[in-house]
Structure 1
Amino acid sequence: MSHSVADRPLLALLLRLLGIGGFAAMAVLIKLADDTGVHLLEIIFWRQFVSVPIVLAWAAMAGGMHLIRTDRPKAHAVRAGYGIVGMVLNFGGVILLPLAEATALSFSAPIFAVILSIVLLKETVGSWRWSAVIAGFAGILVIAQPGGNDIPLFGAMVALGGAFMIALISIQIRDLGRTDHPVAIVFWFAVATVIVALPALFFVHEPLTAQQWLLLLGIGITGTWGQVLITLALRYGTVSSVIVMDYSNLIWATLLGWIVFSTVPPVTTWLGAPLVIGAGLLITWRERVLSRQRAAIVQGAGGT
């Protein structure tokens, strides 16, 4: 079978960049919806509800409805449970913090992924990745400034909780990806979220204005756009080759935060963010080196 479809690195980078732009636009719309009084649970419900028909259309164009079939409903249920908690924390971080700070703290996900790989996967972590973890947490402390006044500590903790969930979910998605198509993973998460969040709407829903409906529709469209494009990027490039584009989100967040909300990140964010981003890039580079070494060992063993 030809693997030429995966050999388009520039297209992969462009798709990832546009996908991250979609998530940045969604974050702006989430803050605007919250400012108008829309409840967080309602935002989450409509974010996923709007994505269901879009993902079904994606499945139809990608090869047919059989792509959403799964033999692992329990694994999808666990992924959905973690995903819902992750959405609450990540959306909460966006609501509670300025966009740039929420985005910078979300970059700590690779740091948590290293720790989870030790606890859950029993991996051995060497000095390179431990150094990245230490540098990354130093950057988090600079941004969050425990005891400082620039950003609320509770908001920082919520955003860090969201980053932890991203790391935990990434391990699950990696496992689900061994057996299920990306369309199925996105679809069943959306369906599960809609089912879980629907009863909550009876307690939090209030009549919405036309502006609020447009904001919720925009959240669903931009969020799904981001999800689809970053998934498609992995058809044409590896995670390690496109992950650098994820850090463009800080540029999007800073620019949009300035244009829409007239907020400019304090000096501490500019000092701490490079440490967190550098840690994430170092971890990604080291993972790539180790995966190549493991592949070489396997290939060498197969040739003996």
Structure 2
Amino acid sequence: MVMLALMLALVKLASESGLALPEILFWRQLPTIMLIPMFLWWRGSVDRLKTKRLSQHGVRAFLGIFGMFLNFGAVTMLPLAEHTSINFTSVMWAVILSALLLHEKIGPWRWGAVALGFAGVIIIAQPGDGHLPLLGALTALGSAFMIALISIQIRDLAQTEDSVTIVFYFALFTTPLLALFLPFVSVEKTQEQWMWLIALGLSGLVGQILLTMALRYGQVASVIVMDYSSLIWAALLGFLLFDTLPPATTWLGAPLIVGAGILIAWREHRLALASKTMSPVSAEPS
């Protein structure tokens, strides 16, 4: 979470310096397809990149690049803490997706938590008062939805694929697509801009590998809950780099979103324990 919060701060710095979003995304991805093979070759384990699920990696790349556009786009429009808080709704979206895609029965506890979380978003965004741009808030919500959807897919891929393999193929599929934008958006860069791009590429690579490893060894909901620590780093980086502090509405709305996510994680943990010790008929409502 520290690495991903730092990456988003660097994205904001790069955007404010005059770099276009497609170019930022390109330089975010490029180091991955260069450094991972070099690292594996040095370790004598290039065979870790072998895969029998190339089509699934392609689907993950398609969803992932769309999610990255939303995520990076939102952070260029919103303060870091507000962007991070709205992104926390990915846990709520995961519940909704479980009901729609997996036909999981969702009971009053989790539906109540979903309602609580989105109430927190309304408090943060304060629609109509001009505190946050509506497009930025909606983009952040879309980003959170994609995070939930992609997390489920990564969890499936991680059953058979190595963490670095998932990260590598995501970059391998998306970097050539992003390169198509460069002739139209690329500009001559200053030394400072190169520093932002290199730093965000490296921090993003490290953060993505760590997150993929976390999804490999932990439950999706539990891993997403750990995302809440990023609010601390986002608020700190926002103050240090952009001289901004979250307003009172953010500190009122963010605990509702965090509390909703924790409630969902606790409830899913209880249901998982119940499913191991009780028959499906007697399992408690969700």
Q: Give your verdict on TM over 0.5.
A: yes
Aligned position for 1:82: 63
Aligned position for 1:183: 164
Instruction: Write the mapping of 1:25-36 to structure 2, written as runs, cut at 5 A.
Output: 25-36=6-17
Residues 105-160 of structure 1: CA deviation (Å, up to 9, x unaligned): 00000100100111111111111111110100111111111112111111000111
Kindly indicate whether the alpha-carbon contact (under 8 Å) linking 1:100 and 1:250 is maintained by their aligned counterparts in 2.
yes
From the superposition, tell whether residues 195 and 134 of structure 1 become closer, same or farther in structure 2 (CA, over 3 Å): same
Picking from 28, 32, 35, the partner of 1:54 is: 35
Kindly indicate whether the alpha-carbon contact (under 8 Å) linking 1:108 and 1:136 is maintained by their aligned counterparts in 2.
yes
From the superposition, tell whether residues 80 and 196 of structure 1 become closer, same or farther in structure 2 (CA, over 3 Å): same
Which shows bigger deviation, 245-254 or 232-241? 232-241
Picking from 149, 154, 173, the partner of 1:192 is: 173
Instruction: Kindly state the Cα deviation for residue 246 of structure 1 after the two structures are TM-superposed.
Output: 1.7
Q: Which runs of 5+ in 1 are unaligned?
A: 1-19, 299-304
Instruction: Kindly state the Cα deviation for residue 230 of structure 1 after the two structures are TM-superposed.
Output: 3.0
Picking from 139, 158, 169, the partner of 1:158 is: 139
- State how far apart, in whole Å, the 2-side matches of 1:241 and 1:112 are: 14
- State how far apart, in whole Å, the 2-side matches of 1:242 and 1:219 are: 22
Aligned position for 1:15: none
Instruction: Kindly state the Cα deviation for residue 27 of structure 1 after the two structures are TM-superposed.
Output: 1.1
- State how far apart, in whole Å, the 2-side matches of 1:243 and 1:108 are: 10
Instruction: Kindly state the Cα deviation for residue 291 of structure 1 after the two structures are TM-superposed.
Output: 2.2
Instruction: Kindly state the Cα deviation for residue 212 of structure 1 after the two structures are TM-superposed.
Output: 1.0
Q: 1:139 and 2:126 equivalent?
A: no
- State how far apart, in whole Å, the 2-side matches of 1:123 and 1:62 are: 43
Aligned position for 2:89: 108
Residues 164-202 of structure 1: CA deviation (Å, up to 9, x unaligned): 000111111122122222221111001111021111111
Aligned position for 1:14: none
Which shows bigger deviation, 56-65 or 202-211? 56-65
Letter in 1 for 2:127: P
Kindly indicate whether the alpha-carbon contact (under 8 Å) linking 2:158 and 2:215 is maintained by their aligned counterparts in 1.
no
- State how far apart, in whole Å, the 2-side matches of 1:223 and 1:131 are: 34
Picking from 10, 16, 21, the partner of 1:40 is: 21
Aligned position for 1:284: 265
SS of equivalent residue, structure 1 residue 147: coil
Letter in 2 for 1:130: W
Picking from 208, 221, 242, the partner of 1:227 is: 208
Instruction: Kindly state the Cα deviation for residue 47 of structure 1 after the two structures are TM-superposed.
Output: 0.3
State the identity as a percent.
52
Aligned position for 1:9: none
* Number of residue-to-residue matches in the alignment: 279
From the superposition, tell whether residues 164 and 242 of structure 1 become closer, same or farther in structure 2 (CA, over 3 Å): closer
Kindly indicate whether the alpha-carbon contact (under 8 Å) linking 1:54 and 1:224 is maintained by their aligned counterparts in 2.
no
Letter in 1 for 2:79: P
Q: Which runs of 5+ in 2 are unaligned?
A: 280-286
- State how far apart, in whole Å, the 2-side matches of 1:51 and 1:35 are: 24
Picking from 196, 211, 233, the partner of 2:192 is: 211
- State how far apart, in whole Å, the 1-side matches of 2:84 and 2:43 are: 31
Kindly indicate whether the alpha-carbon contact (under 8 Å) linking 1:258 and 1:264 is maintained by their aligned counterparts in 2.
yes
Aligned position for 1:6: none
Q: 1:94 and 2:75 equivalent?
A: yes
> What RMSD in Å do the two structures reach over aligned CA positions?
2.0
Kindly indicate whether the alpha-carbon contact (under 8 Å) linking 2:2 and 2:233 is maintained by their aligned counterparts in 1.
yes
Residues 3-59 of structure 1: CA deviation (Å, up to 9, x unaligned): xxxxxxxxxxxxxxxxx1111111111111011111100000110101223333554
